Amino acid sequence: MDYDFDLFVIGGGSGGISSARRAAQYGAKVGIAESWTLGGTCVNRGCVPKKLMMYASRFPEQFEVSTGYGWSAPKSEFDWKHLITAVNQELGRLNGIYESMLDRAAVQVFPHHASFLNAHTLDVGGQKVTADKILIAVGGKPVRPPIPGIEHAITSDDIFHLEEQPRHAVILGGGYIGCEFACILNGLGTKVTQVIRGDKILRGFDDDIRSEIQAKMIADGIDILSETNIKEITKTDSGIIDVCLIADGEEDHILADVVSLAALGRKPNIDNLGLENTQVELAAGAIAVDKYNTTAASNIFAVGDVTDKINLTPVAISEGRAFADTQFGGQSRIVSYENIPTAVFTSPEAATVGLTEAEAIEQYGEDGIKIYRSRFRPMFYTMPDIQKKTLMKLIVHQDSDRVLGAHMVGDDAAEIVQGVAIALKTGATKANFDATVGIHPSAAEEFVTMR
């Protein structure tokens, strides 16, 4: 049967675009549908705008540090509208780059929603389109829990579009997105209250990282309400939002002008895809795929957050390229999910790769591992006499000496751990770390001098 396309991609985010471009490079005729804007969550409402705002939020500390080096204390005021306008202009520039890349690859872009009519046929903005292979790369979306008055809260997607800077923001949830936004808004001068259900932020990360960041956030003025649940959210006639909380059986109220569901999770964006017209199967609300990203329908594939494996942009890109290599490039290839590094752009920043201490103990027993830690004040903060610490940690397997995990909290953690991740990916041992000459003076050298 003749099809309109060899490959049709639903979703123009990082995973979808990387798949489409790679398949087109192999000579496939490719189409892609994106009803919103190219670039997906990461570029438009995730990692890119969030990190730009993070940069902005750290200048007050830099101003303070500068006085220790002989600079006079600067007088500066923050302009929220200027920042938001500049961020959105940068996003527009990136959108244009993605469009140009697809044009150069001869990928046909459909600015419409796409849904399945059958395994090989899609409704794309009212037009029937057929394809030999179809890739689903529609990503995820924020979860809205069933809390009375939840409609008065915004999601993490909406923070980038607030016209006015919040005076008091309540962040619901203690995941990395919530913690990042709490630190960003706090750094920009907004009063921040963060409500978490557990006793500590960043569940799933190494406990030392969690404790170090939470202590610094509190020291910086963020009010973290632990072991607290949200009962109800109401909006007063004056526009103020009243958040009713419950902790230890007692009710309390917080008044704020913005309440954000920044960290109550995300879920695969599978609504209105017409999956019921295919044999595609779901597992826990996500599209089920095998190691080659093939669904239960042999010609339909899925990559990225819609499969709910590891929700990171570089993972979606790797999956998309591996899919294209396998299906169109004659190179059977799968993605390894072991030792994938990640970062949390809080203040202080954190980065991690490999096993946490708890995971290592679960696998090898407490006596089967050895922990190395270093906590110190970086040279940068000594002259201004600012008590800001960096934490580095290695988890080592006793029998093999292999480094199982590396964790860091401190300036440039993401930049440093990216290099350490290469070492872990190649199976480096603690002896390999010890034999590596450090760059002095640097914070990074601590990873190769811990004894």
CATH number at residue 213: 3.50.50.60
105 and 76 inside one domain:
yes
The pLDDT of 102-107, averaged and rounded, is 97
How far apart CA 167 and CA 406 sit, in angstroms, is: 38
Please report whether residue 18 resides in a domain: yes
How far apart CA 399 and CA 77 sit, in angstroms, is: 56
11 and 136 inside one domain:
yes
Residue 304: how many other CB atoms lie within 10 Å: 36
What CATH number does residue 375 fall under?
Answer: 3.30.390.30
Confidence class for position 264, pLDDT limits 50, 70, 90: low
The two beta strands, 282-283 and 286-287, are antiparallel
441 and 304 inside one domain:
no
| Contact call for residues 10 and 135 (beta carbons, < 8 A) | yes
Domain end (from 263, 292, 317): 263
277 and 244 inside one domain:
no
pLDDT of 358 above 90: yes
259 and 271 inside one domain:
no
Domain end (from 219, 248, 263): 263
pLDDT of 381 above 80: yes
- Give the chain's domain count: 3
pLDDT of 86 above 60: yes
CA 267 and chain centroid, separation:
13
Active site members: 440
358 and 384 inside one domain:
yes
The pLDDT of 371-375, averaged and rounded, is 98
Please report whether residue 246 resides in a domain: yes
- Report pLDDT digits (tens) over 249-263: 999 999 999 998 755
9 and 40 inside one domain:
yes
Domain end (from 277, 293, 328): 328
| Contact call for residues 175 and 263 (beta carbons, < 8 A) | yes
**What is the domain range of residue 259?**
150-263
228 and 298 inside one domain:
no
The H or E element that residue 320 is part of is helix 313-328
36 and 54 inside one domain:
yes
Please report whether residue 93 resides in a domain: yes
